[in-house]
Structure 1
Amino acid sequence: MNRNPFSRNALFAATAIAGTIALAFLLSGPSRAAEDAAIIPPPTLDAKTATGIQTAVVAGGCFWGVQGVFQHTAGVLNAVSGYAGGARESATYDKVSTGTTGHAESVEIKFDPKRISYGKILQIFFSVAHDPTQLDRQGPDSGPQYRSEIFTLNDEQKEISDAYIAQLNAAGVYKKPIVTRVAALKGFFPAESYHQDYLTLHPSQPYIAYYDIPKIRNLKKIFADSYVEKPTLVSSAKITN
């Protein structure tokens, strides 16, 4: 269970005054997210030409930042924060936060394959959305619910994911091995409404400002051709679950 006083859960409960003080403190140093962003090659194996709306599900720590990254990604029609890896009955924030339900905080991404490929989504996921070398944690958040995992919907996605992890490890892109798991998706359960669009709605919240806003900046810098200024929010997306 996460006991870091500067974790998301601790900051999530802070008052506005305390948050302002914490924000000033956090922004006085370099951003961990900015340090961890990596320029990586695209996957040599990618999805074949597909038609219709496609779905990808990834987990990389707190879903606020991962959702925010893909909401600013061209070709993404909707990105929803939620839970994957466990049962429907225990897919609630309070239960998942115990780290005992088998879930990971995840993001379901609906995308147009004519505008962005599955492999490109994985490239952005590994490059700016999270650090794939951290085991059962991400930044200040620890526990299996913050693990790095790709939940695949079919054999092609599994093949692409496995091949890309092997490719990046062989290239020595990171100083440590990638620990990202790859598993078949058994179910995705949207998170509570107050978790949706969190980055956009709370840009000055200390956790968001320090750990997640730099991810958006890195997306714009490293993947300029895939960046869109106006995010595609759950509250206004035309594609729903």
Structure 2
Amino acid sequence: MGMTGHAESVQVIFDPTKVTYGQLLQVFFSVAHNPTELNHQGPDYGTQYRSTVFPLSESQAKVAKAYITQLNASHKFAAPLVTTVEEHAQFYPAEKYHQNFLNDNPNYPYIAHQRYSESRTA
């Protein structure tokens, strides 16, 4: 179990003139993970695997919370979302073996499953 309070996450740096924060949320909730699993993703359990968003501003937090409310109301998922919106904190890069994981491990079971799931919903 995660004892540090950290979450395995991705820091996204984007140009808001090319992509909106809302569009990034659409990707996050569509293909990045399962937002209905509390403190786990697939076979990985612990609070470090929680579904969470770290907005950089109050306006991003409002957009994220509204989007979560909208998704829950739409019943797009079979269960309610458990995604939290947490205050942005210090971001720490992952260990080297986690860097470029998708490219370095294309046949890893979780990666293959996610790609299969994505292709079915696209």
Matched, 1:200 2:109: no
Shift in CA distance, 219/103, structure 1 to aligned 2, threshold 3 Å? farther
Number of aligned positions between the proteins? 121
Matched, 1:134 2:37: yes
Matched, 1:124 2:27: yes
Structure 2 runs not aligned, ≥5 long: none
More strand by share: 1
Paired residue for 1:175, among 70, 78, 84? 78
Taking the aligned partners of 2:90 and 2:4, their CA distance within structure 1 comes to: 13
Question: 1:76-115, aligned counterparts within 5 Å?
Answer: 99-115=2-18
TM-score, length basis structure 2: 0.90
SS of 1:109's equivalent?
coil
Q: How many percent of aligned residue pairs carry the same amino acid? A: 48
Please tell me whether Structure 1 or Structure 2 has the larger radius of gyration of its CA atoms.
Answer: 1
Matched, 1:212 2:89: no
Taking the aligned partners of 1:203 and 1:126, their CA distance within structure 2 comes to: 21
Question: 1:66-85, aligned counterparts within 5 Å?
Answer: none
RMSD of the TM alignment (CA)?
A: 1.8
Shift in CA distance, 179/192, structure 1 to aligned 2, threshold 3 Å? same
Taking the aligned partners of 1:108 and 1:100, their CA distance within structure 2 comes to: 21
Deviations 1:87-106 (Å, cap 9, x if unpaired)? xxxxxxxxxxxx11101101
Deviations 1:198-240 (Å, cap 9, x if unpaired)? 1101223xxx2x2223434627962xxxxxxxxxxxxxxxxxx
Amino acid of the structure 1 residue aligned with 2:45: S
Structure 1 runs not aligned, ≥5 long: 2-98, 223-241
Matched, 1:145 2:48: yes
Paired residue for 1:188, among 77, 82, 91? 91
Amino acid of the structure 2 residue aligned with 1:190: P
Deviations 1:90-133 (Å, cap 9, x if unpaired)? xxxxxxxxx11101101001112222211111111111111100
* Greater RCO (Cα-Cα under 8 Å, separation 6 or more): 1
Paired residue for 1:156, among 41, 46, 59? 59
Question: 1:1-20, aligned counterparts within 5 Å?
Answer: 1=1
